Amino acid sequence: MLSAEEQALLDTAACGLMRTLPNGTFLRVNETFANWVGYRPSELVQRRRFQDLLTVGGRIFHQTHWVPLLQIQGSISEVKLELVHRGGQRLPMVINAICRPEGVHDLAAFVARDRDTYEKELLASRKRLEQLVEELATLHDQAKDRALFAEQMMGIVSHDLRNPISTIRMGAALLGRTAPAAAKVVERLSRASDRADRLITDLLDFTRARLGGGLTASLACVDLHALVATAVEDHRLTRPDRLVQHRALGSGDCDADSHRLEQLIGNLVSNAAAYGDPDKPITVESSVQADSFSVAVHNYGSPIPEELRERLFQPMTRGAHTGSSRSVGLGLFIVEAIAKAHGGRVELTSSAEAGTTFRATFPRRKG
């Protein structure tokens, strides 16, 4: 038997305490629990069952989960249920239960209003997050569709511009033959059409690289040094204001796409001319090793900032002179795409003392 002091301690404990029969009938209830649900202990003991105080959903849970778990495990921990107050209000509680050897069930209950509020807020936040993720996915798909459309349009327009550029070239050539006095005008027209043609080529390659998964290269045996020497000579003619020199290292032929290599050299030389020191030479180096070959373009001038180097080969990225309008920032993107098409890579070194060098390295033989 409990003393009066011990009984008072149990009756006023900070948690609800109950003892029930296996069918849920209350045998004992402390005052704390009775007050929580709006009854006197005498109105519950031998008159009501624990499950009678549950919501409809709680009663279903009690029948399908609570009873079987107690029979199998002998105890239940931290089950959250809603009990119905005498006045009809719902009261969230966390309940522990244990089966005693004498065949009765002892229950301890804790009011869980704060936990219930937190769980509801957490659930609402989760639903909101799921909505935001779904909205973000929709916006991403829309942006992807717009980008794809823009790239397709760029490819179509660039392709269609080839015809008027060809007409300008033919007109300039005819004018040069029939009107020698217009030689300077013809030269300007030729340079302008060449620049326009290079820009169109870059735009078409950009479209192929983005929409087609990368550029392709038709590899054939080429004399690397002769190819680079020819490309350098062409740039000397089109850039009479800049000193472009060639340095050849090693010997032997290589497997490469000559057109793509000329394009790569042209883009790198154009980049060096745009951002390098105009009073110092641009050096194009062709090098043949036993298993690889490389093409490098070097110029002096301001070094490329570290924060720019990681995204320098991305499309629409320019060098330090961001105000320049000489290109749309596709040259280095195309250079890297050409290197990848050959199974090679592009490396960059840049410092105030040594200058800037872009080096594309390729396997010497295909396959």
pLDDT recorded at residue 207? 67
CB 105 within 8 A of CB 21: yes
Confidence of residue 213 (pLDDT cuts 50, 70, 90): low
Asked if residue 358 and residue 271 are part of one domain, the reply reads: yes
pLDDT recorded at residue 307? 86
Asked if residue 287 and residue 233 are part of one domain, the reply reads: yes
Residue 256's domain is classified under what CATH number? Answer: 3.30.565.10
Asked if residue 161 and residue 87 are part of one domain, the reply reads: no
Poorest-pLDDT segment among 4-8, 33-37, 350-354: 4-8
CA distance 85 to 82: 10
pLDDT recorded at residue 39? 95
Contacts of 282 (CB under 8 A, 6+ apart): 242, 243, 244, 245, 269, 272, 273, 276, 297, 298, 299
Q: How many C-beta atoms surround the C-beta of residue 4 within 10 A?
A: 7
Q: What is the number of domains present in the chain?
A: 3
Domain boundary among 192, 211, 230: 211
Residue 50's domain is classified under what CATH number? Answer: 3.30.450.20
Residue 344, pLDDT above cutoff 90? yes
Asked if residue 152 and residue 252 are part of one domain, the reply reads: no
Query: What does the pLDDT average to over 29-45?
Result: 94
- pLDDT tens column, 236-265: 877 788 899 999 999 989 999 998 899 899
Asked if residue 342 and residue 236 are part of one domain, the reply reads: yes
When the pLDDT of each residue in the chain is averaged and rounded to a whole number, the result is 84
Element spanning 107, H or E = strand 105-111
Residue 187's domain is classified under what CATH number? Answer: 1.10.287.130
Domain boundary among 163, 182, 211: 211
Asked if residue 276 and residue 142 are part of one domain, the reply reads: no
Asked if residue 335 and residue 297 are part of one domain, the reply reads: yes
161 three-class SS: helix
Domain boundary among 111, 143, 177: 111
State which residues form the domain around 204: 118-211
Burial string for 271-304 (b: 16+ CB within 10 Å, else e) reads bbbbbbeeeeebbbbbbbeeeebbbbbbbbbebb
Handedness of CA 122, 124, 125, 130 (dihedral sign): positive
Query: What does the pLDDT average to over 315-331?
Result: 55
Asked if residue 251 and residue 234 are part of one domain, the reply reads: yes
Nearest CA-CA partner of 201 in 159, 163, 234: 159
Query: What does the pLDDT average to over 88-105?
Result: 93
316 three-class SS: coil
Contacts of 81 (CB under 8 A, 6+ apart): 54, 55, 58, 61, 62, 92, 93, 95
Asked if residue 38 and residue 171 are part of one domain, the reply reads: no
Poorest-pLDDT segment among 122-131, 153-162, 275-284: 153-162
Higher-confidence residue: 191 or 308?
308
Nearest CA-CA partner of 50 in 132, 117, 103, 108: 108
Asked if residue 307 and residue 261 are part of one domain, the reply reads: yes
CA distances from 62 to 18, 22, 38, 51, 299 (A): 16, 12, 21, 7, 81
Measured at the CA of 248, the angle between CA 244 and CA 251, to 5 degrees, comes to 155
CA distance 99 to 106: 7
Asked if residue 124 and residue 106 are part of one domain, the reply reads: no
Q: pTM (2 decimals)?
A: 0.50
* DSSP bridge pairs for 363: 292
Asked if residue 67 and residue 181 are part of one domain, the reply reads: no
Q: Torsion-angle region of residue 271: left (phi > 0), alpha (psi -120 to 50) or beta?
A: alpha
CA distances from 56 to 51, 111, 218 (A): 9, 19, 75
